[in-house]
């Protein structure tokens, strides 16, 4: 039975989840988002021209979107060899990847990458040549294993999952990991090979450039018969105007090719998001398990904070996928032990936006995307990517931010060892004192982790002595600028004090604050706590 209209709005289709995952894959390939979606449309168009049965067309759709789902699993090793793993993958599309062209390409990155001196790079190049490319074959084998595992966990059938193991194979048998040749390579993957590479050349150079590349690699990388059909497909109407249309809305064009699938259930969605979490965490060896840990902690903290079940579930799911955007940043940055340059820091600060952009393409995940994309925002506006202050972040985002900070400090990073829990807790509370993180969110996270609660002062609602000073001025009608002048603080700090106070008191204006202060006996001049 078809899903109801309401159900399809509130739950994603399987195809939508896979399409969103393909956007993250694009980042790791060094391609613009929607590269794999456009390749999917190209492959589906060729399948239709060939008159392939529905079953094979469906496999081409799934294989096109997930062909490179394992591409980032070897990022730490690839970066150690070649420096910028993303630039390396992006560059491979310009090369017929075998023999001397592949060796020259690899040596170029060996010479430029890994941040080593000239002598070290020369040694690495000599070792690479002596090993006959074995390091690359080992990385390819690792990719193929991870691709199959992740695809199965995303709900893909066993046939497609096995076919993904042929993504590096070539028609002429010079591919990897097994040197499959000719029709030993499944037809679906031979079509994916063509569409994936041709999309880049079509986008960058137009139809003539794409056709020229396919003809140049006919009989080596590509099935010659398919290559001829593909060139004819690109040259003939309506595909002649196809390139421009494809650029306009690849998302809709690809989903129009999708199999007739159903919306996923809650349990299926959770498992898919867990697979996406593990997919993101494979990017750096030290990040393994980070997203699941943040999700568990954020969900538990939401329970401590008394949030409703729906909000707890949303927060747990956002925790799972909050780091999808990490795939858009090279491991030469993520795995760097030295301080980041301004340009590197700017790139890092873009990753929550990329997460949000990926998830919000799925209407049913738009709210989840906005929440996940806010995990580096701070109350004082010092966070990223938008610098949203306290007024722009609700309690779920504040809890996610605190959980991500705390869990990250408990894990080792290239520039520091893992922190003891007591040190991480102290540092988290320090962010409250600096007005960067929310008190209630931090205490909920620490309580969920079993940390001892901070002994509260005797001011009501957990107000600090400084906040009581500010409250007194609020009650007596002082503006933010006047509060700043009286307390010799910046207007920005005064504004954040006011926001924090309103949040703690559960009020939204001066009148509400005054009523609270009068009820608790603190409407007069600030002094000694009353004991309430």
Compute how many other C-beta atoms are within 10 angstroms of the C-beta atom of residue 237: 7
Q: With bands split at pLDDT 50, 70 and 90, how would you rate the model's confidence at 111?
A: low
pLDDT at 244: 54
φ and ψ at residue 474, rounded to 5 degrees:
-60, -50
pLDDT attached to residue 532:
37
Distance (Å, rounded) from C-alpha 244 to C-alpha 179?
36
Residue 358 to residues 1, 131, 372, Cα–Cα distance (Å): 29, 39, 11
Query: pLDDT value at position 149?
Result: 86
| Top-confidence residue, 435 or 360 | 360
Tens-digit pLDDT profile for residues 234-279: 887 665 445 555 667 899 999 999 998 778 988 999 999 999 999 8
pLDDT bracket for residue 392 (50, 70, 90) = confident
Retrieve residue 153's tokens: 């966990």
Q: Give the tens place of pLDDT for each residue, 301-344.
A: 999 999 999 999 999 999 999 999 999 999 999 999 999 999 99
Distance of CA 101 to the CA centre of its chain: 33
Q: Please return the burial class of 183, using the count of CB atoms within 10 Å of its CB with bins 0-12, 13-18 and 19+.
A: exposed
Mean pLDDT of 129-146: 67
pLDDT at 105: 73
- The structure tokens listed for 235 are 């040259």
Residue 421's pLDDT is 95
- The pLDDT tens digits of the residues spanning 7-51 come to 345 789 999 999 999 999 999 999 999 999 999 999 999 999 999
3-state secondary structure of 467: helix
Percent of the chain with pLDDT over 90: 55
Which is higher by pLDDT, 345 or 494? Answer: 345
pTM for this prediction: 0.81
Question: Region 429-453: what's the mean pLDDT?
Answer: 89
The residues, any chain, with a CB within 8 Å of residue 524's CB and separated by 6 or more, are 472
Q: How long is the chain?
A: 532
pLDDT band at 112 (very low <50, low <70, confident <90, very high): low
- Contact of 93 with 200, CB cutoff 8 Å: yes
Q: What three-state secondary structure class fits 218?
A: strand
Q: Is 67 exposed, middle or buried (0-12, 13-18, 19+ CB in 10 A)?
A: buried
Instruction: Please check the confidence at residue 218 and state whether its pLDDT lies above 50.
Output: yes
Predicted confidence band of residue 531 (pLDDT cuts 50, 70, 90): very low
Q: How confident is residue 455, by pLDDT bands cut at 50, 70 and 90?
A: low
**Arithmetic mean of pLDDT, 363-376:** 96
pLDDT at residue number 110? 67
User: Pick the residue with more confidence: 342 or 97?
Assistant: 342
> What 3 state SS string does 374-410 have?
CCCCCCCCCCCCCCCCHHHCCHHHHHHHHHHHHHHHH
Indicate the average pLDDT of the chain. 86
Residue with tokens 């003539």: 208
Q: Is 416 helix (H, G, I), strand (E, B) or coil?
A: strand
For the segment 147-169, the average pLDDT, to the nearest whole number, is 90
């Amino acid at each position: 039975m078809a899903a109801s209209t309401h159900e399809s709005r509130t739950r994603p289709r399987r195809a939508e989840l896979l399409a969103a995952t393909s956007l993250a894959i694009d980042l790791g390939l060094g391609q613009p988002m929607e590269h794999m979606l456009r390749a999917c449309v190209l492959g589906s168009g060729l399948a239709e021209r060939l008159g392939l049965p529905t079953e094979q067309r469906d496999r081409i759709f799934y294989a096109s979107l997930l062909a490179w789902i394992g591409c980032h699993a070897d990022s730490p090793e690839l970066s150690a060899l070649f420096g910028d793993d993303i630039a390396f993958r992006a560059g491979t599309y310009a090369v017929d990847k075998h023999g001397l062209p592949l060796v020259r390409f690899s040596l170029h990155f060996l010479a430029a990458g890994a941040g080593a001196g000239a002598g070290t790079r020369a040694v690495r190049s000599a070792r690479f040549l002596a090993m006959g490319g074995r390091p690359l074959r080992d990385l390819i084998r690792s990719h193929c294993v991870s691709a199959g595992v992740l695809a199965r966990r995303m709900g893909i059938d066993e046939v497609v999952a096995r076919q993904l193991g042929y993504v590096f194979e070539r028609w002429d048998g010079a591919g990897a990991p097994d040197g499959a040749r000719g029709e030993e390579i499944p037809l679906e993957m031979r079509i994916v090979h063509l569409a994936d590479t041709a999309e880049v050349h079509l986008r960058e150079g137009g139809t003539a450039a794409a056709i020229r590349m396919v003809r140049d690699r006919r009989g080596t990388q590509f099935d010659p018969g398919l290559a001829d059909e593909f060139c004819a497909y690109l040259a003939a109407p309506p595909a002649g105007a196809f390139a421009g249309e494809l650029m306009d809305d690849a998302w809709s064009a690809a989903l129009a090719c999708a199999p007739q699938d159903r919306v996923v259930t809650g349990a299926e969605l959770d498992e898919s998001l867990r697979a996406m979490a593990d997919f993101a965490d494979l990017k750096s060896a030290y990040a393994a398990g980070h997203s699941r840990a943040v999700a568990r902690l954020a969900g538990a903290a939401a329970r401590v904070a008394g949030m409703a079940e729906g909000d707890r579930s949303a927060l747990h799911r956002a925790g799972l996928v909050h780091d999808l955007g990490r795939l858009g940043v090279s491991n030469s940055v993520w795995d760097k032990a030295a301080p980041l340059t301004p340009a590197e820091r700017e790139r890092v600060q873009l990753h929550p936006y990329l997460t949000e952009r990926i998830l919000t393409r799925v209407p049913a995940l738009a709210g989840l995307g906005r929440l996940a994309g806010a995990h580096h925002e701070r109350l004082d506006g010092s966070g990223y990517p938008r610098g949203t202050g306290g007024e722009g972040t609700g309690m779920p985002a504040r809890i996610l931010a605190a959980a991500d900070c705390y869990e990250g400090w408990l894990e080792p990073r290239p520039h520091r060892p893992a922190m003891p829990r007591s040190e991480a807790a102290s540092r988290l509370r320090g962010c409250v004192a600096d007005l960067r993180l929310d008190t209630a969110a931090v205490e909920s996270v620490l309580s969920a982790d079993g940390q001892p609660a901070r002994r509260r002062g005797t001011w009501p609602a957990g107000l600090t002595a400084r906040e009581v000073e500010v409250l007194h001025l609020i009650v007596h009608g002082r503006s933010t600028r006047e509060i700043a002048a009286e307390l010799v603080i910046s207007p920005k700090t005064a504004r954040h004090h006011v926001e924090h106070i309103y949040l703690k008191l559960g009020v939204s204006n001066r009148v509400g604050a005054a009523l609270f202060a009068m009820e608790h006996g603190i409407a007069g001049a600030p002094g000694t706590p009353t004991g309430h």
